[in-house]
Structure 1
Amino acid sequence: MTTKENQSASKSEEDASFPKEFNGLPVEIDYDGAGRPFPTVIVDDHTFSLSVIKNMIPGGNIVEHVQTIRNIIARDDDVLICTFRKSGTHWIWEIVSMLRKGKAEYDPKIKETAMLELLSKDQIEALESPRNLNTHFPLRMLPKDLLEKKRKIIHVMRNPKDVAVSLYHHFKSLKIGVGTVYSGTFSEYLSLFFSLEMGAKGSWNKYVRDFEKFAKDNPDYPILSLYFEDIKQDPKREITKVAQFLDVPYTEELITAVAERCDFENLKKANQEIKDDYITRKIAPDGRQFMYRKGIVGDWKNWFTVAQNELFDETFERWMSGSELKFKFSL
């Protein structure tokens, strides 16, 4: 018979299996709804999964890598795509790549080949110009030189309910070491999302609010803020905005072609048949790509209970108080 004392002892033993610090940072243990431990480290108020940074950050040292990224030298034609995780990074990266080439053609390379988190300093410097850089790092971790030289930034946001669902499936599909990053149910995971992304640590809400404040405080900075839901609702309109922001020549035919090629199902098919997606296949439990799942707005309705949705709404309103950002939770 399992008693509370036995559960507590088991929990303590499991916690003891994690290091107390990593790269000089304390390891914090959060728990899902079933009491399952989820170790993290926090750098500049941004939460990182311990298992992810140990296995995917170059050199495994997140502190050193953050400094490396901050010290990257910007080029005149750099464009930086910034998104919180599972907010349409692949989508907008393909759009930007096609518009800058002036052709609605897929590049065999994947966006991870230009992702700041995954590359060493030498690899970033070896990228051919023009560089379509992308990152999930928050504003405060971006290259200082890029910000000082006012290189163009495209920031894409997605409603946090769909982010929560997509991130859950991402962690369930991400193979690190002997297992996946997360193995619980969605209901069990949601308590983690509240704590890590919406709560006091606030990775998601702090991420979007920091960009909102930056754009407001720096009205002359070339930053284009887009919503995932708007791109889904009217792709040609939003792709035209991107083309105008990038100051590239375009025609109605090009915009239409890019919108068609960058339709979710077409991107998913291209990722399977054209892209050299060696990175995600390597870290997928079954060897398949898992970055493209549904790509829809409102999938959260298939996962949230009424009570969970009400709690989420209360949390969302509290942490976004005073914000002028307007998120769509359905279309």
Structure 2
Amino acid sequence: MTTKENESSSKSEEHASFPKEFNGLPIEIDYDGAGRPFPSVIVDDQKFPLGMIKTMIPGGNIVEHVQTIRNTIVRDDDVLICTYPKSGTHWIWEIVSMLRKGKAEYDTKIKVTAMLEFTSKDQIEALESPRNLNTHFPLRMLPKDLLDKKRKILHVMRNPKDVAVSMYHHFKAMMTGLRTVYSGTFSEYLSLFYALEMGAKGGWNKYVTDFEKFAKDNPDYPILSLYFEDIKQDPKREITKVAKFLDVPYTEELITAVAERCEFENLKKASQEIKDDFVTRKLSHDGRQFIYRKGTVGDWKNWFTVAQNELFDETYERRMSGSELKFKFSL
């Protein structure tokens, strides 16, 4: 056999070792640049990494849980934060929490305790009002009651190159069972990112453009769209936007204090010293938090080769054709 034939045979054998379905759902196998298989469960054209479904979804039944979330009854003062993974969810959640309390103080709880996909119906209902809910679920999986009642949504977006780098490090640090979610190099991971996040069915690109279209089609819906890069560039300006959107009383002093407390290094320190981060202890290699890495804009330049960047740009232009979203890839 030639080397290529050997690689193909190895792929087929490893592919065959995975079940074709999980809880009645089809499993799709993507491969990284080194031929490592990466299985995902398909729900409503959305790919969910199989290892994460088994580890983090309540009961392990993603279809049942998605349906539960879709049927969740919202409260009058609920606010929902929607972000694609690695796009500043913890950051904006802390900002919203402080603004709604009127105090620049950290909560000992972590955002996962109010995250729709990783908490049970009973846990969600047990949360005290006002609830600052958050999710990575796409628009089509959000609670119908929330959309019907026009509860406020904050949508934060981040440029996909930095998302790719951050996602890579997240998967490298995160454990499912006795294995890391991903064990290859960044160059090898990019093939997966294209398949999972920039594919024809869409991951990242469909997520952000679905929200873009929703906002255009529903101009009276209370949704605030923010860019990660803008918050990084001028936090006080963007935090003031959030305060006005939430219709909470604020002062210049509060905005300044929230901006300071929510600086990346301060959030990282709070996560290590104040937060009850049970999720990280459960899923990291050594029990230390792995959510906060750099929190910068433009770190992708340290990881992409010239050729990889050119290919990414071509893919981005193709997948985002027709979108009016304007991302900053550096500051």
8 Å CA contact 1:195, 1:201 repeated in 2: no
Equivalent-residue separation in structure 1 for 2:320 and 2:200 (angstroms): 12
Q: Which moved more, 1:38-47 or 1:233-242?
A: 38-47
Provide the secondary structure at the position in 1 that maps to 2:165. helix
Query: What code does the residue aligned with 1:319 have?
Result: R
Once the two structures are superposed, residues 56-114 of structure 1 have per-residue CA deviations (whole angstroms, 9 ceiling, x without a partner) of 10000111110000000010000000000000000000000000000000000000000
| Corresponding residue number in structure 2 for 1:105 | 105
Query: What code does the residue aligned with 2:276 have?
Result: D
8 Å CA contact 2:30, 2:37 repeated in 1: yes
Cα deviation, residue 12, structure 1: 2.2
Give 1:18-97 correspondences, 5 Å limit: 18-97=18-97
| Corresponding residue number in structure 1 for 2:148 | 148
| Corresponding residue number in structure 2 for 1:323 | 323
| Corresponding residue number in structure 2 for 1:214 | 214
Cα deviation, residue 198, structure 1: 0.6
Query: What code does the residue aligned with 1:289 have?
Result: Q
8 Å CA contact 2:7, 2:35 repeated in 1: no
Equivalent-residue separation in structure 1 for 2:11 and 2:321 (angstroms): 36
Cα deviation, residue 23, structure 1: 1.9
Cα deviation, residue 211, structure 1: 0.1
Once the two structures are superposed, residues 112-149 of structure 1 have per-residue CA deviations (whole angstroms, 9 ceiling, x without a partner) of 00000111111111111000000000000000000000
Equivalent-residue separation in structure 1 for 2:62 and 2:312 (angstroms): 30
Equivalent-residue separation in structure 1 for 2:2 and 2:96 (angstroms): 55
Q: 1:312 to 1:3 in 2, by over 3 A?
A: closer
Query: What code does the residue aligned with 1:260 have?
Result: E
Equivalent-residue separation in structure 2 for 1:7 and 1:83 (angstroms): 37
Cα deviation, residue 3, structure 1: 4.0
Equivalent-residue separation in structure 2 for 1:308 and 1:116 (angstroms): 35
Cα deviation, residue 199, structure 1: 1.4
Query: What code does the residue aligned with 2:119 have?
Result: L
Q: How many percent of aligned residue pairs carry the same amino acid?
A: 87
Identify unmatched segments of 5+ residues in structure 1. Answer: none
Q: Which moved more, 1:252-261 or 1:38-47?
A: 38-47
Equivalent-residue separation in structure 2 for 1:4 and 1:86 (angstroms): 35
Provide the secondary structure at the position in 1 that maps to 2:237. helix
Task: Give the root-mean-square deviation of aligned CA atoms.
Answer: 1.1
Equivalent-residue separation in structure 2 for 1:160 and 1:42 (angstroms): 22
Q: 1:287 to 1:2 in 2, by over 3 A?
A: farther
| Corresponding residue number in structure 2 for 1:312 | 312
Q: Which moved more, 1:234-243 or 1:48-57?
A: 48-57
Equivalent-residue separation in structure 2 for 1:5 and 1:313 (angstroms): 31
Provide the secondary structure at the position in 2 that maps to 1:287. coil
Equivalent-residue separation in structure 1 for 2:53 and 2:204 (angstroms): 18
Query: What code does the residue aligned with 1:267 have?
Result: L
| Corresponding residue number in structure 2 for 1:132 | 132
TM-score, structure 2 length as denominator?
0.98
The answer to whether the aligner puts 1:235 opposite 2:235 as a matched pair is yes
| Corresponding residue number in structure 1 for 2:166 | 166
Provide the secondary structure at the position in 1 that maps to 2:72. coil
| Corresponding residue number in structure 1 for 2:176 | 176
Equivalent-residue separation in structure 2 for 1:4 and 1:195 (angstroms): 21
Once the two structures are superposed, residues 187-233 of structure 1 have per-residue CA deviations (whole angstroms, 9 ceiling, x without a partner) of 00001111111111211000000000000000000000000000000
Provide the secondary structure at the position in 1 that maps to 2:226. strand
Equivalent-residue separation in structure 2 for 1:280 and 1:287 (angstroms): 6
| Corresponding residue number in structure 2 for 1:284 | 284
Query: What code does the residue aligned with 2:20 have?
Result: K
| Corresponding residue number in structure 2 for 1:224 | 224
| Corresponding residue number in structure 1 for 2:200 | 200
Equivalent-residue separation in structure 2 for 1:164 and 1:222 (angstroms): 29
Cα deviation, residue 2, structure 1: 8.3
8 Å CA contact 2:80, 2:154 repeated in 1: yes
Query: What code does the residue aligned with 2:53 have?
Result: I
Provide the secondary structure at the position in 2 that maps to 1:27. strand
Equivalent-residue separation in structure 1 for 2:162 and 2:23 (angstroms): 32
Identify unmatched segments of 5+ residues in structure 2. Answer: none
Equivalent-residue separation in structure 1 for 2:232 and 2:9 (angstroms): 48
Cα deviation, residue 7, structure 1: 3.1
Provide the secondary structure at the position in 2 that maps to 1:154. strand
8 Å CA contact 1:47, 1:201 repeated in 2: no
Aligned length: 331
8 Å CA contact 2:58, 2:118 repeated in 1: yes
Equivalent-residue separation in structure 2 for 1:330 and 1:302 (angstroms): 12
Query: What code does the residue aligned with 1:144 have?
Result: K
Once the two structures are superposed, residues 240-260 of structure 1 have per-residue CA deviations (whole angstroms, 9 ceiling, x without a partner) of 000000000000000000000
